[in-house]
Chain A
Amino acid sequence: MNNIFQIIQFTIREALARKVFISFGSIILFILVVTLLFFWLADLTTLTSVANQSGQNIMMREIVSSLELLIINPLANLGLLLAIFSSASFIPVMLEKGNIDLLLSKPISRAQLLLGKYFGVVLFVFLNIFLFVFGVWLIISIKFSYWDASFLTLAFVITFAFAVLYALILLFGVITKNSILGMMIAYLIFLIISPLLLWYKEKLNEFVTSEIVDTILDGFYYMVPQTAELMGMIMNDLAMGNGITNFQPIITSFLFLISTLVFSVFLFRRKDF
């Protein structure tokens, strides 16, 4: 456990030293400052009085949550793309000649090394995302004097979506010692495959007459991580205070994450460097 902790600590230090992550943090701070300025200058008295007149907390909750989602939704998707781009090279850099030789000559198992790196990156991304979600929540809560901490759980959902995609980058990083293929596949799933499969599941499957095609597409739907659902339906439910109404996308994505990690460790333990 101590070894994993050391690698996590080292990875966070590595991330802090990278300019790309400094830029990532700066973008988050910039967005927060702009949000703060907007709410500082904007006249929202009409909106707050309507909510207050209704005399119902539910109305206020809807207004606040909608505003929070309006800011978070596009930025979380953009942030996820940026996080993948910024962290994709961590694994190939670790596997470079001269780096990996030294690490493997120390009393640390290969599984500890790989998982330490993975959790280090995920933890760092979580800290960035949490800072962002917390900042938005704080600004809006102060402005409307309405405090509901359930919005903060979004940081965990966004990080979970990142963790699932990063497991893929880890796997392809181990196989190819390169970040490009993993990054491409992660983007492909996040931007195209997962939204398309969701669209198929919700709308298009009624039009598919072939049972074989339907079974195949259905199989794909459950096999591929459901990032579209995580970043859409699950996030909306949590922000609106409804809790998680459908656990299936979380369970299938979690199973995908675990199996990808296990396979990565299996390959890493057998690989020559």
Chain B
Amino acid sequence: MIAIETNSLSKVYTSSFGKKKVNALNELDLVIDKGTIFGLLGPNGAGKTTLVKLLLQIIYPSLGSAKLMDEDIGNYKLKKRIGYLPEDHKYPPYLTGGDVLKFFGKLSGLNGITLDKRIDELLELVNLSKWKKAKVKTYSKGMMQRLGLAQSLINDPELIFLDEPTDGVDPIGRKEIRDILLELKSRSKTIFLNSHLLSEVELITDRVGILNKGKLLREGTVKELTERKEEYKLTLGDELPGLSKYAYDNLIITKNHDGSYAVKVDDIRTMNILVDKLRGDSILIKEIVLQKNTLEEMFISLINQEEKGGNE
């Protein structure tokens, strides 16, 4: 089942007198399955928040359409099934943590004992039970984020949008939030995550999208995006008599500092030919590892490529 589907979704911001136009989102086609954690990455101003705001009808599209859980986004009652934590959320300083959850719970259609029970559960989940009766103006940044997360879950939503959920949270708090998200995923919730913390996205997301200047550059699983298909690390039992003997047109072999070898090939068959050759020379092969980029390396390289492409 599909949780999020966009068709040529576009947003153009026009200045007051129509002189300046900014393409915040450019014909975005995206499909996200139910029960997955999707991470949207992109530099500042890439259009990440614009996309979430469009899906929640906080802003309106210039072109295209979108569906959430098979329903048109125009129906505001659909939001009963959605949770949202905005990037710079503000809560009235005179309310307590419990009051904040009560207000947003009531707006989401909850009431009475069900709501009270849900508030206690969520405060327990985000470790704020002791702060239930404290005014939010006394909360730290990290506590505000945790309260925001609880607020986004108040209606037990099927689909949750989180914009920088770990912003300002300490490492232990971040681990706790990650665990909460994984627990939500195990309950078939769909999570749409906007984050700058690529290492974190790498740890929990099923699929990742990379957005730059309103365009979706890549989309896939973390594995698909980080694999370097043609590069292997080769650890041998013996030292090679000479590198040139094994290098040929479609294969480049170099020695690493740790004594292993880096092999670049055009495809897997070439790698197999090398293995045959090595075995033919009775060289012991200890390990062959397909090399991977970190998500951060891949992200930076992709954005740089895009920038160069755009400048040319």
Contacts and interface: CB of A to CB of B under 8 A. Distances in A.
B51 interface: no
A270 B86 contact: no
B82 to A, nearest CB: 7
A98 B90 contact: yes
A273 B59 contact: yes
B215 interface: no
B92 interface: yes
Given A105-B56, A105-B82, A105-B84, A6 B106 contact: yes
Interface string A118-138: 000000000000000000000
Contact of A272 (B58, B82, B95, B103): B58
Contact of B108 (A14, A101, A104, A106): A106
Interface residues of B, number: 28
A273 B104 CA distance: 19
Contact of A104 (B57, B88, B90, B161): B57
Nearest to B93: A17
A102 B78 CA distance: 15
Given A6-B107, A270-B60, A272-B59, A102 B89 contact: yes
B53 interface: yes
Interface string A156-168: 0000000000000
Contacts of B19: none
Given A106-B79, A106-B107, A108-B76, A101 B92 contact: no
A101 B86 contact: yes
B107 A101 contact: no
Given A105-B86, A107-B109, A14 B92 contact: yes
Given A106-B104, A109-B76, A98 B89 contact: yes
Contact of B58 (A2, A6, A105, A109): A105
B92 A3 contact: no
B77 interface: yes
B60 A272 contact: yes
Nearest to B80: A107
Given A107-B77, A108-B76, A102 B88 contact: no
B86 A98 contact: yes
A180 to B, nearest CB: 18
B79 A105 contact: yes
Given A102-B89, A272-B58, A107 B94 contact: no
Given A14-B92, A107-B76, A102 B104 contact: yes
Nearest to B103: A10
- List the 7 shortest-distance A-B pairs measured between CB atoms, nearest first: A98-B90, A17-B94, A105-B84, A272-B59, A101-B86, A107-B79, A106-B107
11 contacts: A13-B95, A14-B92, A98-B90, A101-B53, A104-B58, A105-B58, A105-B82, A106-B108, A107-B80, A273-B53, A273-B58
Interface of A: 2-3, 6, 10, 13-14, 17, 96-110, 270, 272-273
